[in-house]
């Protein structure tokens, strides 16, 4: 498997068969593919699975960058997920930073406040740096999402702009790893995955 390991977590990529199983509501099949206990959270809110399926359909080379389960080493339980939105250097990010990649994450409600998000974010960025020489990372965060804003600040991200997401509304754009990038505001019509 293409696992990323941190002190307490295994970041395990969901293979396409697991994505399909999750979208069909077959949690047991997802567990078999991941070799982990999967909570109903993943099935009840399948947005990340829908995104992964659509992105893989349009770009099969996206697979290494696709969604990964956050699995506790100690218990084998899935506590959330993390993913890159695209492969590195997509068109929509070039006006902010060349050769950057955007990612997002979710820690399920029952497992928050244990610093799993920070550990997963650090592990994911380290993997991208070591395996693919990526050093610029983007996250978009709603202004009311205080925990993610704090995580971004602690992880060295700085605000470089904002955009209007058609689903989530106004989001600030944060970048890590760019010293010479000037802040700017994205047009509301810019295609943001």
The CATH superfamily label for domain 4-176 reads Gcn5-related N-acetyltransferase (GNAT) (3.40.630.30)
Q: Where are the beta strands (DSSP E) in the chain?
A: 4-5, 9-13, 68-72, 78-84, 100-107, 136-141, 158-165, 169-176
- The model carries a pTM of 0.89
Evaluate the CA torsion angle 73, 124, 80, 67 in order and state its sign. Answer: negative
- At residue 179 the predicted structure's pLDDT band, cuts being 50, 70 and 90, is low
Higher per-residue confidence, 18 vs 181: 18
pLDDT at site 193: 53
pLDDT at site 97: 85
Which residues make Cβ contacts (< 8 Å) with residue 115, sequence separation at least 6?
none
The answer to whether residue 149 scores a pLDDT higher than 90 is: yes
pLDDT at site 90: 95
Q: How confident is the prediction for the chain on average, in pLDDT? A: 90
* Number of alpha helices (DSSP H) and beta strands (DSSP E) in the chain: 6, 8
Q: Helix 16-23 to helix 47-58 angle, to the nearest 10 degrees?
A: 130
Domain extents for the chain? Answer: 4-176
Pairing state of beta strands 100-107 and 136-141? Answer: parallel
Higher per-residue confidence, 154 vs 187: 154
């Amino acid at each position: 498997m293409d696992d990323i390991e941190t002190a307490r977590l295994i970041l395990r990529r969901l293979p396409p068969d697991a994505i399909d199983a999750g979208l069909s509501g077959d949690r047991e099949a997802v567990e078999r593919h991941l070799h982990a206990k999967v909570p109903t959270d993943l099935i009840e809110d399948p947005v990340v699975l829908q995104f992964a399926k659509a992105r893989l359909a349009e770009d099969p080379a996206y697979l290494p960058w696709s969604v990964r389960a956050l699995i506790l080493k100690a218990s084998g339980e899935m506590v959330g997920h993390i993913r890159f939105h695209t492969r590195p250097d997509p068109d929509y990010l070039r006006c902010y930073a060349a050769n950057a990649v955007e990612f997002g994450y979710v820690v399920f409600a029952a497992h928050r406040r244990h610093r799993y998000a920070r550990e997963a974010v650090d592990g994911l960025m380290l993997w991208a740096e070591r395996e693919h020489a990526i050093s610029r990372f983007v996250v978009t965060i709603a202004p009311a999402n205080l925990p993610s804003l704090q995580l971004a600040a602690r992880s060295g991200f700085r605000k470089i702009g904002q955009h209007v997401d058609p689903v989530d509304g106004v989001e600030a754009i944060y970048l890590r790893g760019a010293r010479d990038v000037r802040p700017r505001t994205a047009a509301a019509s810019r295609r943001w995955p």
